[in-house]
Amino acid sequence: MSEAPPTISAVDIYWRLLNYVKPYWLVFVVAIIAMLVFAGTETALAAMMKPLLDGSFVERDPHIIKLIPIAFIGLFIVRGIANFITVYGLGWIARNVIRNLRTEMFNKLIALPSRFFDKSTPGQLLAKLLYDVEQVANAATDAIITVIRDSLTIIGLLIWMIYLNGFLSLIILTTVPIIGFLVFKISSRFRRISKTIQQSMGDVSHISSEVIEGHREVKTFGSQEYEKKRFEKVNQQNRHQRMKMLATDAISQPIIQLITVLGLSLVIYLATLPEMLEKITPGSFISFVTAMFMILTPLKRLTKINAKIQRGIAAAQSIFSLLDEKDESDTGTKILDHCQGDIRYKDVSFSYNSTHDKTLDSVSFHAKPGQTIAFVGHSGSGKTTLVSLLARFYSFSEGQIEIDGININELTLSSLRNQIALVNQQVILFNDTIGNNISYGKKNVSNDQIIEAAKAAHAWGFIERLPDGLATTVGQNGVLLSGGQRQRIAIARALLSDAPILILDEATASLDTEAERHIQAAVETLMAQRTTLVIAHRLSTIEKADQIIVMHDGKIIESGTHQQLIAKNQHYAELHRLQFQEKPADTDLSKAT
């Protein structure tokens, strides 16, 4: 995205994530209990050192000697079970949260307005859906295990140490604030870097996906070197940020450990002073030192987990910024069943960007039911924009568009769009069978209906010859079909949808005369009995239109029938003439429009 997403505070993020865990609270409680048990076994392990030395070896109590190995085995069985419950339980919650987040993000993507997609790249969005969600879950699980279990372990061991010797424990405790301060400093740095890493991950996937999708363009324009350089740059950036993270991580750990060891050494030194040795039994001393060393591992994990949590927060921020995007506004309440197809634009003005000039400037026209209105004009004059407003792909503030006399803003989006069949400039097919592509978005369609539509769209001829007929998969974006074939599939799709209004944004790509004839015939079938707004490049379509509207810089500069406009001998006549001068036999207006 071009704009930086609004930052959400870390506390808000924790709360929001916690909401996702709420439905699974029972499992969560069980996991926490298991963590408590685990921490208990750790403390018990250190505590057992005391009777082992004082009891079994020093006093040679036969009763205790027998009990110790059994206690050890028992302890490790309990510890193993507690560990399993923790890891499995939290993992189960995490996978559920991931699934829920993904569903929510996917639903969001479906509900977002066109404007959002104009400013985001698929790569960045995919990175959120695939990479960021996993990050969050991993961070959360690890963080919970470490923060709860390891802290509990540390607390348990500390209590044991204080019980054994308060003075020595106090010395250990003095190192804690120093470590705490360091961790705080390091964490803010981690968080900053994490954010950049996520962005650069998005760039990596964005550039790769462009090269994958545009592999033909890359080859024909010989832009391999350019793409390589572009990729190398973001790849390098990604590495650089990763290394920063790694360096911070690698430096911070030994420093924290060193501080801890300084404390430990001091304790050992003090404990071995003669006065101290008198007060402490060998069992207590060994047990104390054991506990001290056992604290090190969870403490190390506790300082390390921060990097992960920061990564998780950055990822969660990226996810929530998507989830917080506003849905397409759908405040209309009126429902249209099957409209007549009377379309009226009243002084409609629109711009994509408030800082830009108007893309459409006071456009008005009227299409009676069943009429065909053709739009012509130079590339960029606003034709596609004009028709896209009818389906409310963008909201406009000035002017009004009415269908059957009802302001389209008062209609629910679904009932408005149900009235419209759209054949776009760029045909998008889904990686599915031809049959499913034709019946796309329509429920309960029989095979016969699909075949009928395919026939009417002059598509049946080539579909029939395919190895699997309607069941043939078209490949991503219909790569296995020719441009003209794809258009006819799109026409069949529009025919089947049986909507009273047709928007036809003809592709400018020239086709061979055979395909051209087929498509022309298919288009004519499609336009019959529908109100059609057609952005036409084919002369035959235009000549038969009830009204031709000539656009220039977002304004209507001329309108009328073909004969009227030719007789008027102005803009349209000029466009017409230009084309025939250039290429007398060509019936494609696209060169001029």
Ligand X SMILES: Nc1ncnc2c1ncn2[C@@H]1O[C@H](COP(=O)(O)OP(=O)(O)OP(=O)(O)O)[C@@H](O)[C@H]1O
Chain positions contacting Mg ion, by CB under 5 A = 384
Q: Choose among ligand X, Mg ion, none what residue 380 binds, the Cβ cut-off being 5 to 8 Å by kind.
A: ligand X
| Choice between 175 and 359, CB closer to ligand X | 359
Token pair for residue 320? Answer: 């929530």
Element (H, E) at 560: strand 555-560
120: contact with ligand X by CB under 6 A:
no
Q: How many residues bind ligand X (CB under 6 A)?
A: 13
| Choice between 144 and 386, CB closer to ligand X | 386
Q: Choose among ligand X, Mg ion, none what residue 257 binds, the Cβ cut-off being 5 to 8 Å by kind.
A: none
Is residue 391 within 8 A of residue 472, CB to CB? The reply is no
Q: Choose among Mg ion, ligand X, none what residue 131 binds, the Cβ cut-off being 5 to 8 Å by kind.
A: none
379: contact with ligand X by CB under 6 A:
yes
From the CB of 375, what's the least distance to Mg ion, in Å?
A: 9
d(CA 31, CA 144): 10
From the CB of 554, what's the least distance to ligand X, in Å?
A: 7
Token pair for residue 241? Answer: 């940020």
Under the phi-then-psi rule, with left for phi > 0, alpha for psi from -120 to 50, and beta for the rest, what region is 377? left
Q: What is the dihedral of CA 507, 511, 515, 519, to 10 degrees?
A: 20
Fill in the per-residue mask, 155 to 194: x = in contact with ligand X (CB under 6 A), - = not in contact.
Answer: ----------------------------------------
* HSE-CB for 135 with a 13 A CA cutoff: 24
Is residue 97 within 8 A of residue 137, CB to CB? The reply is yes
Rounded to 10 deg, the angle between the 282-323 and 62-111 helix axes is: 10
Distances (CA, A) of 17 to 59, 150, 153: 55, 21, 25
d(CA 360, CA 357): 9
Task: Provide CB contacts within 8 A for 152, sequence distance 6+.
Answer: 35, 36, 38, 39
Under the phi-then-psi rule, with left for phi > 0, alpha for psi from -120 to 50, and beta for the rest, what region is 429? beta
| Choice between 357 and 582, CB closer to ligand X | 357
From the CB of 592, what's the least distance to ligand X, in Å?
A: 11
Phi, psi of 399 (to 5 degrees): 90, -170
Among 86, 135, 381, 579, binds ligand X (CB under 6 A): 381
380: contact with ligand X by CB under 6 A:
yes
| Beta-sheet strand order (sheet of 343-350) | 360-367, 343-350, 398-403, 406-407
* Residue with token string 């029938």: 561
Which residues between 331 and 360 bind ligand X (CB under 6 A)?
Answer: 352, 359
Token pair for residue 13? Answer: 């993020």
Fill in the per-residue mask, 127 to 146: x = in contact with ligand X (CB under 6 A), - = not in contact.
Answer: --------------------
Among 118, 232, 324, 347, binds ligand X (CB under 6 A): 118
| Choice between 14 and 352, CB closer to ligand X | 352
579: contact with ligand X by CB under 6 A:
no
By residue count, the chain amounts to 593
Among 383, 417, 488, 518, binds ligand X (CB under 6 A): 383
122: contact with ligand X by CB under 6 A:
no
From the CB of 423, what's the least distance to ligand X, in Å?
A: 14
From the CB of 130, what's the least distance to ligand X, in Å?
A: 26
| SS3 label, residue 533 | strand
Which residues between 425 and 484 bind ligand X (CB under 6 A)?
Answer: 425
From the CB of 357, what's the least distance to ligand X, in Å?
A: 9
392: contact with ligand X by CB under 6 A:
no
Q: Which residue is nearest to Mg ion (CB)?
A: 384
**DSSP secondary-structure letter at 477?**
G
Which residues between 413 and 432 bind ligand X (CB under 6 A)?
Answer: 425
Q: Which stretch binds ligand X (CB under 6 A): 25-33, 188-196, 299-307, 377-385?
A: 377-385
Rounded to 10 deg, the angle between the 25-47 and 282-323 helix axes is: 160
Is residue 283 within 8 A of residue 50, CB to CB? The reply is yes
From the CB of 389, what's the least distance to ligand X, in Å?
A: 10
Token pair for residue 168? Answer: 């020595």
From the CB of 508, what's the least distance to Mg ion, in Å?
A: 8
| Choice between 384 and 431, CB closer to Mg ion | 384
Q: Choose among Mg ion, ligand X, none what residue 5 binds, the Cβ cut-off being 5 to 8 Å by kind.
A: none
Where along the sequence are the contacts to ligand X (CB under 6 A)?
Answer: 118, 352, 359, 377, 379-385, 425, 593
